[in-house]
Amino acid sequence: MEHYYLYRVGIWLVARLPLWLVYFVAGTLGEVNFVFSRRSRRGIYANLNHVLPPETSWFRRWRDARLAFRNFAYSIVDFFRIPLMDRSNMDRFVRECRGLEYLQGAMDAGKGGIYVTVHMGSWELGGAYLGMRGIPLTVVALPHKDQRIDQIFVRSRQESSMEVVPVGGALAKLEDALRRGRFTALLADRDVTGKGPVLPFFGEPCHMPDGHAKLALRTGAWLYPARVYRRRNWELCIDIRPPIIPDPAVDTEESLTLRCISYLEEFIRSNPQQWFSFYDLWHATELPIAGEQRQRPPARRRLFVRDAGRSADATGKTDDPAGKTADPADER
């Protein structure tokens, strides 16, 4: 009940208040979250240690970590704006979309397409925008306990001809959609199955998702590395790269995943302050998997996180007596 009215209030506010004011308030709340969410802050610092050059100053690391919280808050505003978007005003929501011409190739060939992206920008709004541009999109979504919340987004999904499939049996449903020539989008920068292969990510071994590679080899769907990122004036941009066309005679799940990883690394390096990764992907022992906590085998090295002089070892234990990690991304 409370969540439903929170959504209604959020949509009402973004529809009536000046957008700059809404972003300002959201950014301020993000700053507060940065100060008080100690574990999430440490996750950001730990991941930035892999992304930024070793000689990066402490101030630059602090600034990028703080901005990651701000940018995540901006993405929540964008989420509330989705029901306000339609074909008549969609260009006010996304100022630039590069690479749309690449998608036509897959559609002309009768193939489906898989956007391979990262936790950056506003991927939900970007997907709705592409649907309104005529790209047949099928996505996986968790149903809300209060069905009235789902109804809020029905109009924008109908406007964009978006198919929504539940989490249960999602892989089979996505495979069917791709065989019908539809597109889907998968976040590929964090393993959420607990079974992802260990591959180099920013030069160090990390559990990585490979569902996009499996689907591409099974269905012949083309892989499109893509990102949604934000410019300085809060404007959203979509960047779609040329397709990776799978060849079952040559490609493997690992080879396709590695080719995609190279693009993901480029996206993150270009805008590290917009990467919403609140877990230490390389060394954390506990990551949320389908709403549960999964224990990972501890690694054999220590990682020193530059936050208040505290350190975290490979098992995720720190000198912080606080409870389990709380990722602000999961509070959405």
Q: How is the chain split into domains, by residue range?
A: 2-331
Dist CA 208 CA 190 (whole Å)? 6
Tens digits of residue pLDDT in 62-86: 999 999 999 999 998 998 898 888 8
| Cα-Cα-Cα-Cα dihedral sign, residues 124, 129, 188, 226 | negative
What is the pLDDT, as a whole number, of residue 301? 41
Asked if 307 and 42 touch (Cβ cutoff 8 Å), the reply is yes
Dist CA 8 CA 149 (whole Å)? 9
pLDDT band at residue 306 under the 50/70/90 scheme: very low
Q: Which of 15-19, 187-191, 269-273 has the highest mean pLDDT?
A: 269-273
Dist CA 120 CA 224 (whole Å)? 16
Which region holds residue 199: left if phi is over 0, alpha if psi is between -120 and 50, else beta?
Answer: beta
Share of the chain above pLDDT 70, in %: 80
Mean pLDDT of 85-113: 93
Is the pLDDT reported for residue 331 higher than 70? Answer: no
Is the pLDDT reported for residue 194 higher than 80? Answer: no
What is the pLDDT, as a whole number, of residue 104? 92
pTM of the full structure: 0.82
Is the pLDDT reported for residue 263 higher than 60? Answer: yes
Token pair recorded at residue 71 = 């940018």
Asked if 156 and 150 touch (Cβ cutoff 8 Å), the reply is no
Alpha helices in 18-94 (DSSP H): 19-36, 38-51, 58-81
What is the pLDDT, as a whole number, of residue 330? 38
Q: Tell me which residue of 80, 178, 97 sits closest to 132, measured CA to CA.
A: 97
What is the pLDDT, as a whole number, of residue 240? 97
Asked if 178 and 109 touch (Cβ cutoff 8 Å), the reply is no
Mean pLDDT of 43-70: 95
Which amino acid, residue 233?
N
Give 317's DSSP letter.
-
Is the pLDDT reported for residue 328 higher than 70? Answer: no
Dist CA 208 CA 281 (whole Å)? 9
Tens digits of residue pLDDT in 128-158: 899 999 999 998 876 667 777 777 766 666 6
